[in-house]
Structures are given as structure tokens and as C-alpha cells.
Structure 1
Amino acid sequence: MITRFLTDVRVKFNPFSPRSKPARLFLSLIPPNARADGMKVETQMLPRTSKEPSTLGVKFKDGKEMNLDLDKMRITEVMEEVDRHSRLLARKEELTGN
């Protein structure tokens, strides 16, 4: 997963729910030095009895924001969505020569 274009990650999930697996896996894919490199990572743990769906909010360097409902998605689909825009930003960066 391409994380160098992410500036802000917000995850809300119930850690005891089996449907929160994509949220947990996404957090595990973020590199350990991401916060030191300027990425803001916010996690909100919901109580065990919560029926609220797991959500993921991602903000990119170009200002685009993605809000994904993780209850209806698999981790591969989440990675595809995030990587699609990251590859577009990488291509733009490559073409401008930065």
C-alpha cells in the first residue's frame, strides 16, 4: 500500500466485532514511522456493545478526502481505493519532476 501521499487517517471501529477486521488490518499496514513523517493517525475505539459501523477517513496531500464504510468492504477493496488515488498522485509527481 502506498502511504507516502496520506496526511490524515481517521479510523473508528469496535475491536471486538468480526466486521472490523478491515479497520484493524488497515492500521497494521501503516508504517511505524508514519507519525514521525507527518501523518496524523486518529483511532476511535467503540464500546463492545456498539452497533455503529466501522469507518475509515483518509486525507491525501492534494486535499482529497475519502470516507469509506468498512462494514461493507474487504481489506483488498480498501487498499484498491486508497492506492488508486495514491498512484494518480505518484504519476503527477513523476511528470512534474519532483
Structure 2
Amino acid sequence: MITRFLTDVSVKFNPFSPRSKSARLFLSLIPPTARSDGMKIESKMLPRTSKEPATLDVKFKDGKEMKIDVEKMRITEVMEVVDRHSRQLARKEELLGN
């Protein structure tokens, strides 16, 4: 997963719910040095009895914000959505020579 173009990641999930698996796995795929590289990561764990849905909000360096419904998507689909925009930013950066 391409994370160098992410600036903010906000995740809210119930760790005991099987529908929150994609949210948990997404957090585990973020490299340990991400915070020191300037990424803002917020995670909120909901109580076991919570009926609130799991959410994932991602913000990119170009200002684009994505709200991803992680309850209905597998982790491969979530990664595909995030990587698609990251690859576009990488191409743009490469063409501009930055």
C-alpha cells in the first residue's frame, strides 16, 4: 500500500466486530514511521456493545478526502481504492519532476 501521499487517517471501529476487520487490517498496514514522517493518525475504539458502524476517513496531500465504508469492503478493495489515488499523485509528481 502506498502511504507516502496520505496526510490524515481517521479510523473508528469496534475491535470485537467481524465487520471491522478491514479497518483493523488497514491500521496494521500503516508503517511504524508514518507519524514521524508527518501523517496524522487517529483511531477510536468503540465499546463491545456499540452498534455504530466502522468508518475510515483518509486525506491525501492534494487535499482530496475519502470516506470509505469498511464494513462492506474487503481489505483488498480498500487498498485498491487508496492506492488508485496514490498512484495518480505519484504520476503527477513524476511528470512535474518534484
Q: If the TM-score is normalised by the length of the shorter chain, which range does it land in?
A: over 0.9
SS in 2 for 1:70: coil
Gaps in structure 1 of 5+ consecutive residues: none
Give the TM-score, by structure 2 length: 0.99
1:49 counterpart = 2:53: no
Q: SS where residue 58 of structure 1 aligns?
A: strand
- What SS does the corresponding residue of 1:71 show, helix, strand or coil? coil
Tell me which amino acid in the other structure corresponds to 2:68.
L
Who is 1:62 aligned against?
A: 62
TM-score by length of 1: 0.99
What is the rounded CA distance, in whole Å, between the counterparts of 1:69 and 1:80 in structure 2? 13
Runs of 4+ aligned residues of structure 1 deviating over 4 Å after TM superposition are: none
The residue aligned with 1:16 is 16
Distance 2:80 2:69 in 1: 14
CA displacement, residues 38-94 of structure 1 (integer Å, 9 cap, x when unaligned): 000000111100111111000000000000111111000100000000000000000
Structure 2 unpaired stretches of 5+:
none
* Aligned Cα root-mean-square deviation (Å): 0.4
